[in-house]
Amino acid sequence: MYERALVLDPQSAEAQSLLAGALAGRVLDRMTDSATTDIARAEGLVGQALAASPRSALVHLAKGDVLRAQRRFGEAVPEYETVLVFNRNSPFALHSLGGCKLFTGSIEEVIPLEEQSIRLSPRDPQIWSRYLRIGIVYLLQSRTDEAIVWFERARSANPASPLDHAYLAPAYALKGMTERAAAELAEARRLVGDDRYSNIARLTARGVPKIRALFEATYFAGLRKAGVPEE
């Protein structure tokens, strides 16, 4: 539909931004076999939209999404902050900024951003992702009981997401709940449809060294306890 909008109005900064965000979104969600091409096109569209509408919250949101899809989290932070200057009530910008803050090492800023996103959009179809992010922060802080509470909320809100199960598995394993961990790991593997969770080598931690170290000490340690082999 965005492509059709651009056919009707090739100079529409709104259509350019929305299409760029959709292209970046399917890269972020691993729903494309042409990630390099998608990102290149999204970058071009954002560049055109930004030149025409430099004060548009939508344009900066799309640029942040493109940078996040490229794992350029530090560069994405000011884009989402700019969105919030123009529209402080954007729950998606708050959630996306929370992810960037996590991977750039500002872990203490993440939960307040996610809580604000939840307050602004308490019936959001994507609310499970806010719950999941809060759980991840608690897991990385070794507050495993609290992490489990939030992971279980995420699972209840969207049981079809493999991520909820993939984080519950190591959290349960760290608490010695091996049967639950095994069940969650099996469900994550069933839902994801590939061999992503077949071994540790298939998984990579994102972020600055501090955050990668926290993932290693908690998430990956829990996966090993849950029975995931190294290779």
Is the pLDDT confidence value at 172 over 90? yes
The CA distance from 39 to 231, in Å, is 30
Could you count the other beta carbons within 10 Å of the beta carbon of residue 203?
Answer: 15
Q: Do 64 and 33 meet the contact criterion of CB atoms below 8 Å apart?
A: no
Amino acid residing at 97: L
Six token digits for residue 174? 């760290």
Which domains are present in the chain?
Answer: 1-88 (1.25.40.10), 111-231 (1.25.40.10)
The CA distance from 117 to 127, in Å, is 9
Amino acid residing at 37: T
Is the pLDDT confidence value at 117 over 90? yes
The CA distance from 34 to 30, in Å, is 10
Q: Do 205 and 211 meet the contact criterion of CB atoms below 8 Å apart?
A: yes
pLDDT given at position 136: 98
> pLDDT-based confidence at 194, cuts 50/70/90?
confident
> pLDDT-based confidence at 193, cuts 50/70/90?
confident
pLDDT given at position 46: 98
DSSP string, 143-175: -HHHHHHHHHHHHHH-TT-HHHHHHHHHHHHHT
Return the axis-axis angle of helices 91-103 and 127-140, rounded to nearest 10°: 20
Structure-token match 């951003």, residue found: 113
Amino acid residing at 160: A
Amino acid residing at 61: L
Is the pLDDT confidence value at 211 over 90? yes
Q: Give pLDDT tens digits for 2-25.
A: 999 999 999 999 999 999 999 999
pLDDT given at position 217: 98
CA distances from 1 to 11, 15, 155, 217 (A): 15, 9, 31, 44
Q: Do 114 and 134 meet the contact criterion of CB atoms below 8 Å apart?
A: yes
> pLDDT-based confidence at 83, cuts 50/70/90?
very high
This prediction has a pTM of 0.95
Could you count the other beta carbons within 10 Å of the beta carbon of residue 52?
Answer: 15
Q: Do 53 and 59 meet the contact criterion of CB atoms below 8 Å apart?
A: yes
Q: Do 76 and 64 meet the contact criterion of CB atoms below 8 Å apart?
A: yes
